[in-house]
Structure 1
């Protein structure tokens, strides 16, 4: 019997993961990750992790599997929370869920599981894993989940071959309603439980309030940039090389206060992110305003009216060499080479046609269609035929 440690989160997906593995004859152990107890950054008076760990324990009792809580809050604070504050302070937008998987679930947690003699770690992610022998070597593939509405492969875009080798994703072949149905038939307490909307394993946190605990409010101005701003109408030069063209189109627009008009005040540019509409509290425009750029040094938020404002769109982004990550290391691009893929820059976005170009200092990702709100600090992930090949942090 192979031993599997399941990250039981107190939700329906991980409960059914444990149930299915037990049915398949594995020796299953349930572990709940406690990632938070820093009261200096209290998020709300609710204590979701207590409720969740309770539910996880009840599920473990029902399935008659050993259960324990592991406290990873120190590592979580160091690797995720501090990083998040740091990134937001710089005016970037990190993705804590992608990091939580790379740094916590499939690193710290996985090491604990292996110390417990586990052959595998299993999670309730909607994605699939397959393997293939290529040139005498076993290569692991990360595939999109069968449920197109729930596919969570993007969140695992930073995993390595070593991490995938030890991972199982039992619900990846199922649709969410089927998962709930299995939980109901097995009488699991989590069958009807709503999906958590919070930060990975912290629970219910509203980001602005969360950030305000550490990043002090600082009143600044909201500037509206007109749709006919001269930079949008600029003459496009002729390019000597493809790389020169990519470099040109990957540059974001730079704004100064005098390029638009002051339309309001905000509490701090570092609380806002590109593409954001909520929280601006500026009226009097025909269409809502969207954040098109934040300047944390000058503490100014630049906005544009309507979701088709030209300041929101560009079709080329850049990833520096030290931020490029290939799950499929065997497909890594040599300098001067390109690869046609499908890519997304955020979870839930549908895959878009794109081409990767590896140059000396990094990689350009050129989308066929302009993308809205390309934001530094987020992850771009690239796929071919449902397989996630790699990802990178947008520079």
Structure 2
């Protein structure tokens, strides 16, 4: 008999978490809803989105006849996510607060609260992801650990945003939607009387910005620091800006009076100079090699110590980007030199990426040269995320 009986399900007020709770209850678990408040500042319209989401969370739990608790992580979110985001922008780095929130809040403080305060044996969320053990958290092999696997629905797969969570948290987590499509989830919601949630607008972007223009938002926390836009080819000043923290690599600059559209190619936060390139496909916008900080190995015990010195894998830089072949070589500082099979546009310092292995332990390479990838073999993988792909590592990018 399974020892996993009481599951604390994160209830956000959306359709995904609602259907997750329904599935768990249908499977016979003792399901407890937990609403997490991370931000309590009213938006530009005087509304607090967290209050509105809580109303929907109350509706869900009442409909499913499960208890609902609420926990306030505003302080933790401010200290461990928001403050770091602001520091990164000040340093000319583009952060990803969603990844930070999952690592520090949802899959740390939330898990600890659920297990210690609500006596949960595990947690569940509405993320589109899977693990190698599924619901069998009481049958984990300590020598193998738990792998994070891509969702069945590759268009909704959210493992990119989960790629920095710790192994201990993954061992306490169930993803009920991992084998379902978004369409199926909405159909389930409608079939059990929660159809109104299927039509609720999904939260997109950074929650605390709301519908405001990003530049208007960031001015509330970082003072403008004027600088120049400099043509990366000629070295001439082609415009001015209010600070590097408003801009990220690959972004269009909207400079008036110029024959071509310019895009951000390099950012220098010390001098406040932003180097721009004419045309969205300018070579200066592309990178094929870069350096990373030490990897976050989700299943480090599975790969044994020391880390692999050199290996081939698959690379993803942003949530919606297709997979691309890469070669990784360990550096003396614990990071990796990464070479991509082809150049990629706007690979940005401070952002995150994932290294994926296709369902098995990678073999350490014995030859330093990169393995050749023919166009025909690449075509078999482009744009596809195999359902058994394992998210192994997280990288913090530093462009060469």
Q: Confirm or deny a common fold (TM above 0.5).
A: yes
Distance in 2 between residues matched to 1:205 and 1:7, nearest whole Å: 27
How much does 1:44 deviate?
5.1
Unaligned runs of 5+ in 1: 227-258
Residue of structure 2 in register with 1:325 after alignment: 296
Contact 2:265/2:285 (8 A) holds in 1: yes
Match of 1:137 among 126, 137, 143: 143
Change (3 A) 1:168 1:43: farther
Match of 2:225 among 215, 218, 226: 218
Q: Give the aligned length.
A: 357
Residue of structure 2 in register with 1:339 after alignment: 311
Q: Is 2:158 aligned against 1:185?
A: no
SS of 2:54's partner is helix
Contact 2:254/2:262 (8 A) holds in 1: no
Residue of structure 2 in register with 1:125 after alignment: 127
Contact 2:254/2:261 (8 A) holds in 1: no
Residue of structure 1 in register with 2:216 after alignment: 209
Residue of structure 2 in register with 1:275 after alignment: 250
Match of 1:3 among 1, 6, 11: 6
Unaligned runs of 5+ in 2: 359-388
Distance in 1 between residues matched to 2:141 and 2:20, nearest whole Å: 33
- How is 1:142-181 mapped onto 2 (pairs within 5 angstroms)? 142-181=148-187
SS of 1:140's partner is coil
Distance in 2 between residues matched to 1:220 and 1:43, nearest whole Å: 28
Distance in 2 between residues matched to 1:27 and 1:154, nearest whole Å: 30
Residue of structure 2 in register with 1:263 after alignment: 238
SS of 2:161's partner is helix
Distance in 1 between residues matched to 2:44 and 2:328, nearest whole Å: 40
SS of 1:392's partner is strand
Contact 1:43/1:210 (8 A) holds in 2: no
Residue of structure 1 in register with 2:276 after alignment: 303
- How is 1:33-44 mapped onto 2 (pairs within 5 angstroms)? 33-38=36-41
Distance in 1 between residues matched to 2:120 and 2:141, nearest whole Å: 29
Residue of structure 2 in register with 1:113 after alignment: 114
Could you tell me the TM-score, scaled by structure 2's length?
0.84
SS of 2:280's partner is coil
Residue of structure 1 in register with 2:383 after alignment: none
Distance in 1 between residues matched to 2:257 and 2:271, nearest whole Å: 25
Change (3 A) 1:112 1:37: same
Change (3 A) 1:263 1:332: farther
Change (3 A) 1:176 1:135: closer
Change (3 A) 1:14 1:313: same
Could you tell me the TM-score, scaled by structure 1's length?
0.85
Change (3 A) 1:202 1:285: closer
How much does 1:283 deviate?
3.3
What RMSD in Å do the two structures reach over aligned CA positions? 2.2
Residue of structure 2 in register with 1:233 after alignment: none
How much does 1:138 deviate?
4.1
Change (3 A) 1:64 1:287: farther
Contact 1:131/1:139 (8 A) holds in 2: no
Distance in 2 between residues matched to 1:23 and 1:355, nearest whole Å: 45
Distance in 2 between residues matched to 1:86 and 1:47, nearest whole Å: 25
SS of 1:87's partner is helix
